[in-house]
Structure 1
Amino acid sequence: MKIRDSVSKETLKQLKSIAPDSNSNKSNDTEPITMREWEEIIGTRRETYQRQGGRVRRKR
């Protein structure tokens, strides 16, 4: 049984006026995230370091 079955029609109208189309896709107007941005988010585009003779240097 769903909530909408037990709620009156007036209450259902109020709920729909507060949050219309809550199930629809809201981010249609934003541009998609690029592959480079995803790599930065998950951390694969970071500098790597390695030990060389006791000190830590950036790997190239």
Structure 2
Amino acid sequence: MLFMTLNKLKMRKGLTEDLKTKIDVFYALGRLTEKEYSELMDIPYEEVGEDENIAENE
């Protein structure tokens, strides 16, 4: 529900600095997933598989 509300705000007023700040705060608090955050901030989202994630950490 939070994602839909933020997305509607983005469509109406655009991605303003104020909205970016709100999105960042909700993401930092764990209220948005990485995928939702990426979509709201217009950042390409790439799902990393578990095997790829382990390889990057080694």
Q: TM-score, normalised by structure 1?
A: 0.29
Bigger proportion of residues as strand: 1
Choose between structure 1 and 2 for higher RCO, CA contacts under 8 A separated by at least 6 residues: 2
Q: TM-score, normalised by structure 2?
A: 0.30
Bigger proportion of residues as helix: 2
Query: Looking at CA atoms only, which structure, 1 or 2, has the larger radius of gyration?
Result: 1
